[in-house]
């Protein structure tokens, strides 16, 4: 089966660092994605990991451990505009490359 | 076009009517996905098209739902005899053909079609 778990909600303070965790159990693996989604808008791509390790892109970093079925998204120097849902998604690979999403983590950044 | 285009952006329909939702992917993208997102929920996979391969329809919730992709580009999602539980945002996404060399690793979403069944 396919299972992707993320915390439902998180709260953090402006200027701080927050880590959003994602664990997954999927039949096959061909990459893990993080998306940001503001209320009422489409998801926008943040990061992609297919090999173990850390990928850094400005204030956002994403980490993957395939052996542990674990990823995290790290947001630094939080800004109020970072308040959004953060979606973890795994591409299953093999004969199909469908992207399976977790339910998302709603992050609230407070002043 | 520059991005994934979906139409209509909003649709209100009566229970029992059929609806068609259209997706025009980014030019050159061979992979196309349909997802459904209910209010406050995650994205539910519906169907995936890749080039000329048989689509992965494993996410379609019932036989009232169908999708086709003509000419490897535009896709239409059809919902027959709509029910109130079909009310959701229907999101389309596209990418290059996924590969381990890194192609297709950015999947772009359209703005969605907001469907309300009354």
- pLDDT tens-digit series, residues A4-34: 999 999 999 999 999 999 999 988 888 899 9
- Tokens standing for A53? 């390790």
Query: Which residues of chain B make contact with A44, given a CB cutoff of 8 A?
Result: 109
Q: Kindly give, in sequence order, each residue whose CB lies less than 8 Å from that of residue B86, ignoring residues fewer than 6 positions away.
A: B79, B115, B117
Q: Which of B70, B52, B4 is nearest to A45 (CA)?
A: B4
In this predicted structure, the answer to whether residue A95 has a pLDDT above a threshold of 60 is no
Mutate to test the interface with B, among A90, A93, A99, A100 (most CBs of B within 10 A): A99
CB contact under 8 A, A31 and B35: no
The pLDDT of residue B101 is above 60: no
- B44: chain A residues, CB-CB within 8 Å: 101
> Is B9 an 8 Å CB contact of chain A?
no
- Contact of B71 with chain A, judged by CB distance below 8 Å, is answered with no
Q: HSE-up of B93 (CA within 13 Å, CB side)?
A: 29
- Residue matched to tokens 């850390």: A54
Contact (CB<8Å) A96/B35: no
Residue A96 has pLDDT above 80, yes or no: no
Between CA A2 and CA A65 the distance in angstroms is: 17
Mean of all residue pLDDT scores within chain B: 91
Answer whether A84 touches B (CB < 8 Å): no
Task: State the pLDDT confidence band at B99, using cuts at 50, 70 and 90.
Answer: low
Q: What pLDDT is attached to residue B52?
A: 84
User: B106 — contact with chain A (CB < 8 Å)?
Assistant: yes
Burial class (CB in 10 A: 0-12, 13-18, 19+), B14: exposed
């Amino acid at each position: 089966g396919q299972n992707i778990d993320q915390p439902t909600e998180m709260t953090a303070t402006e200027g701080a660092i927050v880590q959003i965790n994602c664990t997954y159990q999927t039949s096959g693996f061909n990459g893990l994605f993080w998306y940001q989604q503001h209320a009422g808008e489409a998801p926008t791509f943040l990061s992609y990991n297919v090999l173990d390790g850390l990928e850094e892109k400005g204030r956002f970093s994403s980490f993957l451990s395939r052996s542990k079925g674990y990823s995290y998204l790290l947001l630094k120097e939080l800004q109020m505009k970072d308040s959004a849902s953060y979606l973890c998604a795994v591409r299953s690979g093999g004969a199909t490359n469908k992207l399976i999403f977790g339910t998302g983590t709603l992050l609230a950044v407070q002043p | 076009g520059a991005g994934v285009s979906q139409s209509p952006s909003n649709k209100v329909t009566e229970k029992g009517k059929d609806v068609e939702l259209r997706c025009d992917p980014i030019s050159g993208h061979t992979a196309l996905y349909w997802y459904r997102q209910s209010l406050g929920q995650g994205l539910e996979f519906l169907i995936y098209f890749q080039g000329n391969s048989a689509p992965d329809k494993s996410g379609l919730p019932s036989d009232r739902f169908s999708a086709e992709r003509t000419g490897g580009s535009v896709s239409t999602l059809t919902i027959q005899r709509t029910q109130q539980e079909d009310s959701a945002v229907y999101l389309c996404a596209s990418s290059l053909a996924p590969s381990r060399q890194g192609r297709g690793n950015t999947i772009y979403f359209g703005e969605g079609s907001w469907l309300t069944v009354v």
